[in-house]
Amino acid sequence: MKIAVLGAGLAGLSAAEELTRRGHEVVVIEKEPHPGGLAATIKRSGFEYDLGPHRFHTSNSEILDFVRGLPGIDLQELKRVSRIRLLDRYFDYPLALSNVLSTMPLHRGVGMMLSFLAEKVRGFYAPREQQSFEGWVLSRFGRGLFELYLAPYNKKLWGIEPSRLSADWASQRITVPSLVGLIRETVFPSKETVRSLISTFRYPRGGIGEISRALASGITGMGGSLLYSKEPLGLEKNGNGWRIALPDGHMECSKIINTIPVNRYTRLLGDLLPEDVHRSASRLKFRALVFLTVLLDGNIEPSDHWIYTSEDRYLFNRLSISRNFDPNVPSQVVFEYSCQAGDEVWNMPKDELLRSTIPGAEHLGLFSSDKVRGVDICRRSHAYPIYNLDYAENVARVLNALEDIPDSVTCGRQGMFRYNNMDHSIEMGKFAALEVLGEASVKTHFNWNENTWADG
Do 53 and 305 touch, CB atoms closer than 8 A? yes
Q: The CATH number of the domain where 374 resides is what?
A: 3.90.660.20
| E strand or H helix that includes residue 246 | strand 241-246
292 vs 388: CA distance, rounded Å = 27
Determine, yes or no, domain membership for 87: no
Cα(first)–Cα(last) distance of the chain, in Å?
39
Determine, yes or no, domain membership for 80: no
Residue 262's alpha-carbon distances to 250, 404, 409, in angstroms, are 22, 15, 11
| E strand or H helix that includes residue 201 | strand 200-204
Q: Are residues 355 and 415 in the same domain?
A: no
Number of structural domains the chain divides into? 3
**Which structural domain, as residue segments, surrounds residue 365?**
286-385
Do 202 and 76 touch, CB atoms closer than 8 A? yes
242: exposed, middle or buried (Cβ count in 10 Å: 0-12, 13-18, 19+): buried
Determine, yes or no, domain membership for 257: yes
373: exposed, middle or buried (Cβ count in 10 Å: 0-12, 13-18, 19+): middle
306 vs 283: CA distance, rounded Å = 32
Q: Are residues 393 and 446 in the same domain?
A: yes
| E strand or H helix that includes residue 358 | helix 350-363
Q: The CATH number of the domain where 120 resides is what?
A: 1.10.3110
Q: What is the pLDDT of residues 105-148, one digit of tens each?
A: 999 988 988 998 999 899 899 999 999 999 999 998 899 999 99
How high is the pLDDT of residue 109?
86
Determine, yes or no, domain membership for 84: no
Q: Are residues 401 and 279 in the same domain?
A: yes
Percent with pLDDT over 70 in the chain? 93
Q: Are residues 150 and 214 in the same domain?
A: no
Buried b / exposed e across 392-416, counting CB within 10 Å, b at 16+?
Answer: eebbebbbebbeebeebbbbbbbbb
For the chain, give the number of residues. 456
- Region of 72 (left: φ > 0; alpha: ψ -120 to 50; beta: rest) is left
Helix runs in 85-150, H state only: 97-103, 106-125, 133-145
Q: What is the pLDDT of residues 345-366, one digit of tens each?
A: 999 999 999 999 999 999 999 9
Determine, yes or no, domain membership for 81: no
Q: What is the pLDDT along the chain (456 residues), one digit of tens a residue?
A: 899 999 999 999 999 999 999 999 999 999 999 999 999 999 988 889 999 999 999 989 999 999 999 999 999 999 999 999 999 999 998 877 778 878 999 999 889 889 989 998 998 999 999 999 999 999 988 999 999 999 999 999 999 999 999 999 988 877 665 666 666 655 556 655 555 567 899 999 999 999 999 999 999 999 999 999 999 999 999 888 999 999 999 999 999 999 999 999 999 999 999 999 999 999 999 999 999 999 999 989 899 999 999 999 999 999 999 999 999 999 999 999 999 999 999 999 999 999 999 999 999 999 999 999 999 999 999 999 999 999 999 999 999 999 999 999 999 999 999 988 999 999 999 999 999 999 988 888 877 655 565 565
Q: Are residues 21 and 159 in the same domain?
A: no
Determine, yes or no, domain membership for 202: no
Q: 154: number of CA atoms within 13 Å, CB side?
A: 26
Q: Are residues 179 and 148 in the same domain?
A: yes
Q: The CATH number of the domain where 435 resides is what?
A: 3.50.50.60
Do 417 and 391 touch, CB atoms closer than 8 A? yes
145: exposed, middle or buried (Cβ count in 10 Å: 0-12, 13-18, 19+): buried
Out of 385, 416, 433, pick the residue that ends a domain. Answer: 385
